[in-house]
Amino acid sequence: MFVDVVDLRGFYGSGLGQVARRLLVRRLRGLWPDLSDMSVVGLGYAGPYLGIFREEAERTLAFMPAAQGVVNWPSDGPSAATLVGEANLPLGDGTVDRLLLVHCLEMSEQPRELLRECWRVLAPGGRLAVIVPNRRGLWARFEHTPFGHGRPFSRSQLVRLLRDALFTPNAWGEALWVPPFRGRFMIRSAAAWERVGTVIKAMPPGMLFVEATKQLYSAIPAKEARRSRVLVPSLAGEPVPSRRVQRMSVRNDARTG
């Protein structure tokens, strides 16, 4: 079950959320040091992480699932955010160079279909980056952060899921050894926790990163039925919560019925 966009925005506006974003962005930049002239799409709530690619990437888009809701992104300039079906992306086959999943895979009720849709839209040689809560870490145990919701993963579980969707994992990363407490001392000491965590292997990290490459030597079976793609762009500064999206969907069904 997806966390509502209002709660996600509130978390990243807090001190703990800003620390988590800074530490995760550092790891993400290590995976993707240069995305010049590439198309980049974030699926889930990826806005806080896409900003580092805006200046260099040819195109950067934020896709937010209907069950979550949508918020305007970026805060300055034309909006590049829209509402989508998580397993029905409004993109052509092989049109994306890099795809980032944040607050997405662990929330999805259909992770296999989600990853197969990611496979479809990625270009040959395209790469997928997934950030998920570590099932052994503390962040998956506290519900006052969005990482404490949904389904946490182990490395072996991620490998099986990715390979089933015809992805080959080729790089791993870890982050958030700092406990998810909101006290000032814990937030200020986050960098020290990260340094200690990389040395003491007995400390499980809160987040797992995996970068995977699209395999081309096997085919994805066609879907039995493909739902129509309805985009709800975020044009204003206020978020569109998932509850309002559901009401909009009911009204649209009534008109067409």
The burial of 75, by beta-carbon neighbours within 10 Å (0-12 exposed, 13-18 middle, 19 or more buried), is given as: exposed
Predicted pLDDT of residue 225: 44
pLDDT digits (tens, 9 = 90+) for 81-100: 999 998 899 999 999 999 99
Domain boundaries, the chain: 5-256
Asked whether the predicted pLDDT for residue 232 surpasses 60, the reply is no
CATH architecture of 5-256: 3-Layer(aba) Sandwich (3.40)
Query: At 21, is the secondary structure helix, strand, or coil?
Result: helix
The H-or-E segment that residue 50 falls in is: helix 47-50
The values of phi and psi at residue 74, to 5°, are: -75, 175
Sheet with strand 232-233: strands edge to edge: 167-175, 207-214, 122-133, 96-102, 39-44, 59-65, 81-84, 232-233
* pTM of structure: 0.84
pLDDT band at 248 (very low <50, low <70, confident <90, very high): low
pLDDT digits (tens, 9 = 90+) for 109-156: 999 999 999 999 999 989 999 999 999 999 999 999 999 999 999 999
pLDDT digits (tens, 9 = 90+) for 161-200: 999 999 999 999 999 999 999 888 888 888 898 988 888 8
Predicted pLDDT of residue 250: 46
226: amino acid identity, one letter: R
pLDDT band at 208 (very low <50, low <70, confident <90, very high): very high
Q: Give the chain's mean pLDDT.
A: 87
Predicted pLDDT of residue 1: 80
pLDDT band at 254 (very low <50, low <70, confident <90, very high): very low
